[in-house]
Amino acid sequence: MIDGNEGSTAQVSTHRTFESRWNLAQLGIQGLFALAILCGLLGVFGSGWLAEATTRAPDLPVTVSYDRFLRNTAPAQIQLAISAPLAQERVAVRLNRDYLDRVSVSQTQPRAISVEADGDGATYLFELGADKRGEITFSLKPQEFGILRAGWSVLGRSVSFTQLVYP
């Protein structure tokens, strides 16, 4: 038994190189946690400021709303909004082949009156009705992870956007 008056003969020394490396490793791990929390708050892993984006078709009152970050095989939606009346009651939306090779379109709302596929992609034709405006929703599932480059066109006007699909 060690009495409070008796001293210990064990020598404790510091190892400065190890301690500096250990502190650096701890700082790195804490930085990664802080980065993951910040990304989550900004919307990289779900809904939030970075997660949602919109783009417009040139010279048309058409806005495309989409999620920048998707999960592989998880359902997603892309909404096409026509905010002002168009000259015609029908609108053609063309999806490029590269996009369709990596995404499965399960349905559209409203239902397309026709879909024509060729070697370069597919064209969906929609009836807008008498007011010549409305919203079209594409329900889809990514089939591969990676970067998706969408080269759509609405009434012949190009609409491009990029999405990242997580595994």
pLDDT per position as a tens digit, 42-79: 767 767 777 788 898 888 899 999 999 898 989 999 99
Summarised one tens digit per residue, pLDDT across range 147-161 is: 999 999 998 899 999
Distance, CA of 46 to CA of 43 (rounded, Å): 5
Tally of CA atoms within 13 A in the half-sphere of 26 that contains its CB? 6
Residue found under tokens 């929390």: 37
Summarised one tens digit per residue, pLDDT across range 126-146 is: 998 888 889 999 999 999 999
**φ and ψ at residue 78, rounded to 5 degrees:** -125, 130
